[in-house]
Amino acid sequence: MKDKMKIGIIICDRYHTCAGGKCFRSLKEREGAFSIYGDDEEVELVGYTTCGGCPGGNVEYAPEEMIKNGVQTIHLATGLVVGYPPCPHISELKDFIEERYGLKVIIGTHPIPQKYYVVHTKLGTWNSPEGNELIRPTLADEKTRSAYD
């Protein structure tokens, strides 16, 4: 039997009441950033929390709790990328978790909803090599993005 990949999700505190529906659906469907896991790979969500609010103070402690549940990879939720304004600390959060806890960190969960893609494209939010790299894991085709509106 193949081992389970155990993941945690950290969302933006602005969306602290989010029930996780888009993240959970995309995990099940292996869409967005979860497309890196094969359909035959068992993935278990073992932690779900907020960053704790700017500048992300909960990130200092939450991964340690997730590790106690066996977490191997942490996903920083798509909301950190598509909220307005996008999280100005996302790179630092990723770097901190990787350095402090030795965990793999992936930016993104569910595909970017089309309505957010349209607005951010008009605003030029991601018009840079860094911006393009930031959205790459969650940039699906228009049909898929529309399904997440």
d(CA 142, CA 86) in angstroms, rounded, equals 21
How sure is the predictor about 1, in pLDDT bands with cuts at 50, 70 and 90? Answer: very low
Q: How many domains are there within the chain?
A: 1
Is the distance from CB of 86 to CB of 78 less than 8 angstroms?
A: no
| CA 29/CA 69 separation, integer angstroms | 23
Q: What CATH number is given to the structural domain containing 134?
A: 3.40.50
What is the predicted pLDDT for the residue at 31? 96
With beta carbons less than 8 A apart as the criterion, state whether 48 and 65 touch. no
With beta carbons less than 8 A apart as the criterion, state whether 93 and 131 touch.
no
70 φ, ψ to 5°? Answer: 90, 10
Amino acid at 52: G
| R_g of the chain computed on alpha carbons | 15
Task: Supply the pTM of this predicted model.
Answer: 0.94
Q: In terms of residue numbers, what domain contains 74? A: 5-147
* pLDDT of the residue at 4: 87
Confidence of residue 119 (pLDDT cuts 50, 70, 90): very high
Phi, psi of 87 (to 5 degrees): -60, 120
